[in-house]
Structure 1
Amino acid sequence: MTNPDDPFAEADDFEIAPVRLTVDLGALADNWREMARRSGSARTAAVVKADAYGLGIEDCGTALYEAGARDFFVAVVQEGVTLRTYAPDARIYVLSGIWPGQEQLFFENGLVPVLVSEEQLAFWMSVTAEHGDHPCALQVDTGFNRLGIPLEDAIAFTDDVSRPASFSPVLVLSHLHSGDTPSSELNQKQLESFRRVADAFEGIETSLAASAGIFLGSDYHFDLTRPGIALYGGEAVNGGKNPMRPVAKAEARIIQIRDAKKGETVSYGGTYQLSRDSRLAIVAAGYADGYLRSLSGSGVPLRQNIGHGAFGFVAGRKVPVVGRLTMDLTIFDVTDVPAAEIRSGDYVELFGPNMPLDDVARAAGTIGYELLTSLGLRYERRYIYPE
């Protein structure tokens, strides 16, 4: 805090930041433990791709490792190199696989490539033939049509006489495309396909369930589960109550509170007209901070299903975004907040314990994943460590 006797004393950067992010690492660890409990006898990994869903791979990786995670998934090799420092003896899988020229990074950092195509599979066999055996994983496509060896090709590969005797993946995995919709019959169809894969690769560990798949029950758990969004407090399953603890709180500072008259318009394009005399709080966050333009209170032609934009939270009350959200600024209507309870310099919660991440995401016509991974570089961050 600033010393009132010294106006030039150094202030706490977090206390004066235009935008700030609080990350509760205790909640993150608790969420991992909860997903491990729900995974039953299966071992539970932690997915920390995209800079731990925007919250910081260094701090989040450390907290998850200290909570007990020993299997991690990242998207690209550079993320794995970073994580290795914070998870020294963990097994780290790289979901995008390996490309020529990356071999040394995988070997030096003990990273496990997830081979996702026939080309990567052939390349990896040539690498191990030259440099010796090294763990790998194999992804099989069971209906997603994204990454993975086609189902029948993967099963046939187990009996391929040209397959090197030394080649044996440590994990075979697939991914559910409709796990967030428990009622979808396609989940059962993928499960049946993956069981064929598991049978063909007998003796090798298998993994099908990410966050949503864990909630589908033990049939989907196999040997290893891979929770991601649920660890960070997001909704993994559509509908129903989210059982996970909120992890991130994003806030923006009020730069100015101004009075505006009934009939006046707000922000670019004049798309929002005030229906009453109002007080407006202009805060220091916009789409450059990942607070998406589609959260605007009006003037968003692509958002047809929701007539209003997002809400913030300040002084114990929800307050709506009004007018178009801009690159660096957002305007909230704070007319219903007593004037004595709000002032310039206060912070509006953009999402967090009082404004659930996925509620805000729905107002933007998107999902919590996008809000978290869109967080910009301007947030001053504070990490709350478990006691």
Structure 2
Amino acid sequence: MIDVVTSSPSPESAPATLTIDLAALAANWRLLRDRSGAPDCAAVVKADAYGIGIEPAVGALHQAGCRTFFVAHHGEAVRVRATAPDATVYVLNGLLPGASAAFVRDGIRPVIGSFDELADWAEASRDAGRRLPAAIHVDTGMNRLGFQPDEVERLAADPRLGAIEPALLMSHLTSADEPEKPASRLQVEAFDRARAALPGVPASLANSSGHFLDPTPAYDVARAGYALYGGNPVPGHPNPMRPVVRLEARIVQTRTIPAGTPVGYGGAWTAKAPRRLATISVGYADGYLRQASATDAHDGGAALVAGRLCPFAGRVSMDLIVLDVTDVPEAEARRGSVATLIGDALDIDEVGRRAGTIGYEMLTGLGRRYGRRYLDAA
């Protein structure tokens, strides 16, 4: 067996640096906790804490007072448990066949959403000689995971439910970021019917945008996700969250090209006038999506150089992006100068929009080749 050790490059040697503000992360959690009014505000730290790193994120959130965490996979839960041994950790994606023993061993709670999962966890409880805690997921409109509404009465009468400890009843809002739609109201009504069928179980419904619905459906446990990391939970309105992530790259090379010169793979972008270009060492291998490419027919991503917006020129390639820095003085856009890809006017939601996607995808895809710099939460 070969042991492989991976690590990010140091910020000093890396061509691009990802700065992660743990103090801002903790402040965002406190804001959402206070806004929810719920007795408990959990943090969703799946997808490596939305790309910023489970260990530093959980450490900062735990220090701020968070004691409940949600992840997608068992392996993520193990990392949370190692960082915060006293925390309650739920696995959103359920219980796969044969996985119960690992959950019991590691003190991790599955989110159960089917009778098969219930049967497995009830058997694990009997083997353990105690009622093992788990969350019960009721589907109120997402149609991905969870007990369907017409199954809830049967679930309430199932003797296997008595073999486990239902520690939480939860569902997931589909359209909380679109409050003008009736979906959230209808989901709250469906969730309340499920609560009536399963009385006495603590309840959780509000996601990040759910904290800002009127009224806020927080119940006993609110669940903060994307907004923790600086994403805007109220699209179309000023972002109440502090930015957490900043991505900066240094310019590798500059050049001046005449009008009519194509740039990048396929020559998809052509200079309409003489332009000055700068190349940075970031690409889709670093999670900066190829769909952020700029072509003659489509404006793509952009970066900030010396505070000026510099659009991409040509396609995003595996390791490189070309910027049009014509409007930046040469002294401020030269080899070694800094280009900001995420930060300031280019917040994570704007970056996602320019790439034809959402900030979630950009954030969770940030790669391991960046030098990572963590600003202390203290």
Amino acid paired to 1:157: L
Question: Is contact 2:295–2:315 with CA below 8 Å preserved after alignment?
Answer: yes
Structure 1 unpaired stretches of 5+ = 1-11, 301-306
Question: Is contact 2:281–2:320 with CA below 8 Å preserved after alignment?
Answer: yes
Question: Is contact 1:286–1:326 with CA below 8 Å preserved after alignment?
Answer: yes
The equivalent position to 1:331 in structure 2, one of 322, 332, 346, is 322
Q: Which residue of 2 aligns with 1:319?
A: 310
Cα distance between partner residues in 2 of 1:276 and 1:219? 53
When residues 262 and 44 of structure 1 are mapped into structure 2, their CA distance, relative to the original with a 3 A threshold, is: same
The equivalent position to 1:141 in structure 2, one of 136, 139, 148, is 139
Cα distance, 1:337 vs. partner? 0.4
Cα distance, 1:218 vs. partner? 4.3
1:271 aligns to 2:268 (yes or no): yes
| 1:22 match: secondary structure | strand
| 2:238 match: secondary structure | coil
Structure 2 unpaired stretches of 5+ = 1-8
Aligned 1:171-186 pairs, distance under 5 A: 171-186=168-183
Amino acid paired to 2:320: L
Q: Which residue of 2 aligns with 1:122?
A: 119
When residues 230 and 164 of structure 1 are mapped into structure 2, their CA distance, relative to the original with a 3 A threshold, is: closer
Q: Residues 287-310 of structure 1: CA distance to partner in whole angstroms, max 9, x if unpaired? A: 11111111111168xxxxxx4111
Q: Which residue of 1 aligns with 2:44?
A: 47
Cα distance, 1:209 vs. partner? 0.8
Q: Which residue of 1 aligns with 2:193?
A: 196
Cα distance, 1:216 vs. partner? 0.8
| 1:220 match: secondary structure | coil
Question: Is contact 2:121–2:132 with CA below 8 Å preserved after alignment?
Answer: no
Cα distance, 1:258 vs. partner? 0.8
Amino acid paired to 1:119: D
Question: Is contact 2:18–2:247 with CA below 8 Å preserved after alignment?
Answer: yes
Q: Which residue of 2 aligns with 1:373?
A: 364
Aligned 1:248-327 pairs, distance under 5 A: 248-298=245-295, 307-327=298-318
Cα distance between partner residues in 1 of 2:153 and 2:211? 25
Name the stretch that deviates more: 342-351 or 27-36: 342-351
Amino acid paired to 1:350: L
When residues 386 and 165 of structure 1 are mapped into structure 2, their CA distance, relative to the original with a 3 A threshold, is: closer
When residues 14 and 208 of structure 1 are mapped into structure 2, their CA distance, relative to the original with a 3 A threshold, is: same
Cα distance, 1:99 vs. partner? 2.2
Aligned 1:228-267 pairs, distance under 5 A: 228-267=225-264
Question: Is contact 1:247–1:352 with CA below 8 Å preserved after alignment?
Answer: no
Aligned 1:194-233 pairs, distance under 5 A: 194-233=191-230
Question: Is contact 2:21–2:375 with CA below 8 Å preserved after alignment?
Answer: yes
Cα distance between partner residues in 2 of 1:237 and 1:144? 20
Cα distance between partner residues in 1 of 2:346 and 2:328? 17
1:345 aligns to 2:343 (yes or no): no
| 2:63 match: secondary structure | helix
Question: Is contact 1:299–1:324 with CA below 8 Å preserved after alignment?
Answer: no
Cα distance, 1:284 vs. partner? 0.1
Amino acid paired to 1:146: R
TM superposition outliers: structure 1 runs of 4+ over 4 Å: none
Amino acid paired to 2:252: I
1:355 aligns to 2:346 (yes or no): yes
Q: Which residue of 1 aligns with 2:5?
A: none
Cα distance between partner residues in 2 of 1:219 and 1:244? 17
Q: Residues 304-340 of structure 1: CA distance to partner in whole angstroms, max 9, x if unpaired? A: xxx4111101112111111111111000000100011
Question: Is contact 2:231–2:359 with CA below 8 Å preserved after alignment?
Answer: yes
Cα distance between partner residues in 2 of 1:365 and 1:255? 26
Count of residues paired in the alignment: 369
Amino acid paired to 1:137: A
| 1:142 match: secondary structure | coil
Cα distance between partner residues in 2 of 1:28 and 1:84? 19
Cα distance between partner residues in 1 of 2:97 and 2:191? 29
Cα distance between partner residues in 1 of 2:180 and 2:39? 23
What TM-score results when the alignment is normalised by the length of structure 2? 0.94
1:150 aligns to 2:141 (yes or no): no
